[in-house]
Amino acid sequence: MNTPFDIQQLWNLPTTEFMDLAKQLCVFQASNNPVYKQWIKLSNQSISELETLDAIPFLPISFFKNQDVFIGEKPNTLFESSGTSQDVVSKHWVVDTKIYEASFFNCFEHFYGKPSKYCIIGLLPSYLERQHSSLVYMVDKLIQASGHPQSGFYLNEFEKLNEVLKQLEANKVNTWFMGVSFGLIDFSTAFPQQLKYATVIETGGMKGRKEELTKEALHALLKNNLGVNTIHSEYGMTELLSQAYSLGNGVFECPSWMQVLIRDTEDALTYVNDGKTGGINVIDLANINSCSFIATQDLGKKNPNNSFEVLGRFDNSDIRGCNLMVL
């Protein structure tokens, strides 16, 4: 099926062109995605006048738990959200994994440069223990692109990881070290150290594993244990193909093909001003063969420069890693 625009346009998209592509994509998905089309009809919304982003209908993220949200023939690739055996998990059917790869590679290069500049380490035990994780897929591809012999996943091999980090520090190797929160807490408590050449990125992941911490408390603990000045964060979810990153202080920035809006918690069709807390709606133009307009169950606020903060979540939220937690 022909898409409304060349996907390559997205990776260096001028801000002035975002609205036009979002409008084209909304019309395309409303015509070709049965779930999104039905939602627009049932919620009595219209796409006849799309002059601003807040006129676009956003699909509640819960639909990914009980509907197959995709365009065209049923895809072969399935990503699933984390959860216990009793949870109903979100399912994201991905038509073209090459688009996902292009999205996370371009995003990585925007924030960090080429993966080949780093030794890339993944401390993602809860994700490696199950199948169909979009996060594991992403980090695995980044590890391959890194090409460093010590890049890799470390499941529960804390002693081995400690030795690897010591070697990397001794050799002054820049390291991109991503982990779920509880894994980073456990490792850094068992092996506290001073990392001068590592960037530490947490991707949430406290749910059901330990007493939950505020983001501030988590970052303070990790900074103290690992000897770094800042902790970076990743904001992504199973239902999307793009990620936002915080390079410190819990303030997230999006790549050029992704934006967030903040909706009123009492009225999902209205939006609040910058600096006000509300529900996070995400526009991910890379999610072209699914739904690019998703109303998440996260609470946050937007800043005037289009950066945003994640302040917590509605009950029963399922964002990847639940990043983060309750204030």
Q: 126-173 pLDDT, tens per residue?
A: 777 778 999 999 999 999 999 999 999 998 899 999 999 999 999 999
* 171 and 65 housed in the same domain: no
* 104 and 169 housed in the same domain: yes
Answer whether residue 211 shows pLDDT above 90.
Answer: no
Mean pLDDT of 253-274: 95
Is position 9 within any domain? no
Is position 243 within any domain? no
Is position 129 within any domain? yes
* 106 and 214 housed in the same domain: yes
pLDDT of residue 320: 42
User: Of 235, 266, 283, which marks where a domain is finished?
Assistant: 235
Q: Are 98 and 92 in contact (CB under 8 A)?
A: no
Query: Could you give the C-alpha distances from 307 to 95, 103, 141, 241, in angstroms and in order?
Result: 29, 19, 27, 19
Looking at the chain, the whole-number percentage of residues with pLDDT higher than 70 is 92
* 30 and 142 housed in the same domain: no
For residue 327, cis peptide bond before it (omega within 30 degrees of 0): no
* 45 and 122 housed in the same domain: no
Is position 247 within any domain? no
Nearest by Cα to 222 from 205, 238, 208, 207: 205
Query: Could you give the C-alpha distances from 112 to 84, 106, 164, 254, 311, in angstroms and in order?
Result: 33, 10, 21, 13, 25
Where helices occur in the chain by DSSP H, the ranges are: 15-32, 34-42, 63-66, 97-112, 125-128, 134-146, 158-170, 181-190, 215-226
* 172 and 298 housed in the same domain: no
What is the extent of the structural domain holding 313? 22-85+257-322
User: Of 235, 270, 294, which marks where a domain is finished?
Assistant: 235
Q: How many domains does the chain have?
A: 2
* 172 and 138 housed in the same domain: yes
Cβ-Cβ contacts under 8 Å for 324 (sequence gap 6 or more): 181, 204, 206, 213, 214, 215, 218, 233, 310, 312
Cβ-Cβ contacts under 8 Å for 171 (sequence gap 6 or more): none
Cβ-Cβ contacts under 8 Å for 269 (sequence gap 6 or more): 45, 263
| Cα dihedral across residues 29, 267, 307, 296: positive or negative | negative
Q: Are 52 and 29 in contact (CB under 8 A)?
A: no
Tokens of 301: 């606020």
Q: 215-239 pLDDT, tens per residue?
A: 899 999 999 999 999 999 999 999 9
Is position 194 within any domain? yes
pLDDT of residue 206: 62
Q: 327 or 20: which carries more pLDDT confidence? A: 20
Nearest by Cα to 94 from 72, 71, 78: 78
User: Of 182, 200, 235, which marks where a domain is finished?
Assistant: 235
* 138 and 182 housed in the same domain: yes
Is position 35 within any domain? yes
Cβ-Cβ contacts under 8 Å for 122 (sequence gap 6 or more): 128, 136, 139, 140, 143, 152, 153, 154, 178, 179
Query: Could you give the C-alpha distances from 206 to 85, 125, 203, 250, in angstroms and in order?
Result: 16, 12, 10, 16
* 103 and 209 housed in the same domain: yes
* 133 and 220 housed in the same domain: yes
pLDDT of residue 87: 74
Banded pLDDT at 319 (limits 50, 70, 90) = very low
* 201 and 296 housed in the same domain: no
Q: 165 or 205: which carries more pLDDT confidence? A: 165
Is position 16 within any domain? no
Answer whether residue 1 shows pLDDT above 70.
Answer: no
Q: Are 252 and 244 in contact (CB under 8 A)?
A: yes
**Mapping DSSP to helix (H, G, I), strand (E, B) and coil, where does residue 119 land?**
strand
Banded pLDDT at 210 (limits 50, 70, 90) = low
Query: Which one-letter amino acid corresponds to residue 221?
Result: L
Mean pLDDT of 274-282: 96
Q: Which residues face 278 on adjacent strands?
A: 300
pLDDT of residue 317: 44
Query: Could you give the C-alpha distances from 257 to 32, 120, 214, 244, 279, in angstroms and in order?
Result: 21, 25, 29, 10, 20
Is position 135 within any domain? yes
* 199 and 222 housed in the same domain: yes
Beta strands 278-284 and 258-263 are antiparallel
CA distance 67 to 70: 9
CATH number of the domain that 27 lies in? 2.30.38.10
